[in-house]
Amino acid sequence: MDDRSGLTDAERPRVEVRRLPGSPDLAALADGTEDVVWLDSGLPDGTPDTARARAAWSVLACTDGPFAARLRHERRRARVDVSAASRAWFGSDRSSDAPAFAVLDDLLARTPRLPEPVRGCGFALGWVGFLGYELGRESGGPDRTADGHADADLRFVDRAVVVGPDGGAWALALVVDAEPAASAANRAWLEEVTVPPTRADVAEAPPGLPAVAAAGRVSRAAYEAAVEACRGEIREGNAFQVCLTTAFAVPGLEAGVAPGTDAHLAEYLRLRAADPVPFGAYLRLGALRVASRSPERFLRITADGVVTAEPIKGTRRRVADPEADAAARADLTTSAKDRAENVMIVDLLRNDLLRTAVPGSVHVDRLCAVETYASVHQLVSTVSAVLPVGASRAATVRAAFPPGSMTGAPKSSATAIADRLEAAPRGVYSGAVGYFSASGAVDLSVVIRTLVTVLDEDGRVVSRTLGAGGAVTWSLVPADEADEVETKTRSVLGGVGAVARW
């Protein structure tokens, strides 16, 4: 990411930092903010160091600061809204039919480059939000748009709180000499932001949540038939692996939320308490609520251009009995099917990264390593590369989008097969959530195990869906794949008092 903004010294921003006392309750801060993006890292005790490094930092990004800007891409049109104080960087409000990644590339080029304000944390303010699965049409995927919400919503944020691995917290705010009023407002926010008390009424789940049905978009028999159709495509040589997904309609919110709180945030906190993950996220963006319990990183790019992908393929549920749990872990370790799924996606990602990386720099750092979390054992691989100096971060993400673990291989044919069989857009699910920092760093998770809610103008729920799916290869049994889909819904549906029925 190179800074081509051509700003004068007076127009060039800087980040002011305040170390906060104690460890703040980011949930309470999120509850007191309008639109918000909370990138929520957390892992239970005993997590391996390789996984713990992914969960080192959490970011609570406030979208209502005086330098705010927004990129929203919906129905193939981009809308850029810019506050008066940030027009020197991003220009005026505008709309166009330009591709989302092209508009993002332009906005990142206009974003002034800022140094890392807190050592070890790549986030230096910048653009936060989501890229929906349907943006894959810009890199050769099926030509669809999301249903009921935008394909992408990214906000430029000038205020944030970051929390590090030891619980230390810092407030960050943007200031610039050419905008004294906006800078004064941000300095005032910086001094006023406090550590709220723990909100037990929000964090604790109401007892005895009833098990209500989350209805499948298709029947189990229809899903198994689609799996068999994928096997037919593989037999004909049209793909090696197809990520076939479906969705479940989740019933309305349960009672037990304190008055004046964000009920969807309260629901997210119940999920969070039950299953800590490295890439949790809660987004409140206009009429959209996204509650993600993702364990998977899509891409990380450091400020100096090292890019890393960490695909997950292969999962076993943990069980209470230690011997049975060890047996489940051993079964995953030796499973030829699961290793084959993982290796196929690793090979796909090597190709994706090579499109924008320095030739010869792509390496597989880990292959099919088993990591154990609170509820699952998983096979995780790590692929890394080095970008040329000044490489476009938007171009690097576009070249690898959608995440390979959610497409199959080869990507273009696998996504076409899945789209024909699913016959519906995926939306936020299977896309990416995270940030494009003003430091040049990028960190994006894969949107899985995620509840997506769309509201109407009066705040009533229009739709609440949970996507789930699995990798189809030749050797599998369709009924087993349907069982895997049900298993993948449990960590989210259990936290909201629902169970999959299809």
Could you read off the pLDDT of 412-436 as tens digits, one per residue? 999 999 999 999 999 999 999 999 9
Q: Which of 43-47, 142-146, 474-478 has the lowest mean pLDDT?
A: 43-47
Q: Are 133 and 431 in contact (CB under 8 A)?
A: yes
Q: pLDDT at position 2, please? A: 47
- Preceding peptide of 359 cis, ω within 30°: no
Average of per-residue pLDDT across 469-487: 93
Assign 195 a pLDDT band (cuts: 50, 70, 90). Answer: low
Q: What is the DSSP letter of 403?
A: P
Q: pLDDT at position 100, please? A: 98
Residues whose CB is less than 8 angstroms from the CB of residue 259 and which lie 6 or more positions away in sequence, other chains included: none
Average of per-residue pLDDT across 306-331: 93
Q: Are 468 and 485 in contact (CB under 8 A)?
A: yes
Q: pLDDT at position 8, please? A: 85
Is residue 313 part of the annotated active site? The answer reads: yes
Q: How far is CA 272 from the centre of its chain?
A: 15
- Cα dihedral value 160, 163, 168, 173, nearest 10: -10
Q: pLDDT at position 431, please? A: 98
Q: pLDDT at position 255, please? A: 43
Q: Which residue has the higher pLDDT, 60 or 22?
A: 60
Buried (b) or exposed (e) across 303-338, using 16+ Cβ within 10 A? bebebbbbbbbbbbeeeeeeeebeebbeebbebeeb
In this predicted structure, the answer to whether residue 4 has a pLDDT above a threshold of 60 is: no
In this predicted structure, the answer to whether residue 200 has a pLDDT above a threshold of 50 is: no
Q: pLDDT at position 284, please? A: 97
In this predicted structure, the answer to whether residue 257 has a pLDDT above a threshold of 90 is: no
Fold of 14-501: Anthranilate synthase (3.60.120)
Q: Are 330 and 427 in contact (CB under 8 A)?
A: no
The residue from 254, 310, 313, 488 that is catalytic is 313
Q: pLDDT at position 48, please? A: 60
Q: Are 224 and 482 in contact (CB under 8 A)?
A: yes
**Where do runs of H (alpha helix) occur along 236-392?**
263-274, 322-334, 336-354
Average of per-residue pLDDT across 41-69: 81
Q: pLDDT at position 329, please? A: 95
Residue 171 CA to residue 169 CA, distance in Å, equals 7
Beta bridge partners of 131: 152, 432
Strand 498-501 with 212-216, pairing: parallel
Nearest CA to 134 among 435, 431, 434?
Answer: 431
pLDDT tens figures, 73-104: 999 999 999 999 999 999 999 999 999 999 99
Residues whose CB is less than 8 angstroms from the CB of residue 371 and which lie 6 or more positions away in sequence, other chains included: 48, 50, 51, 377, 378, 380
Structure tokens at 112: 């002034």
Return the domain boundaries, the chain: 14-501
Average of per-residue pLDDT across 7-14: 87
Q: pLDDT at position 29, please? A: 87
Average of per-residue pLDDT across 205-233: 87
Q: Which residue has the higher pLDDT, 313 or 393?
A: 393
pLDDT tens figures, 360-387: 999 999 999 998 877 788 899 999 999 9
Is residue 488 part of the annotated active site? The answer reads: no
Q: Are 344 and 352 in contact (CB under 8 A)?
A: no
The residue from 296, 310, 341, 481 that is catalytic is 296
Number of H helices, E strands in the chain: 13, 25
Residues whose CB is less than 8 angstroms from the CB of residue 152 and which lie 6 or more positions away in sequence, other chains included: 71, 72, 73, 100, 104, 129, 130, 131, 132, 135
Structure tokens at 465: 């869906």
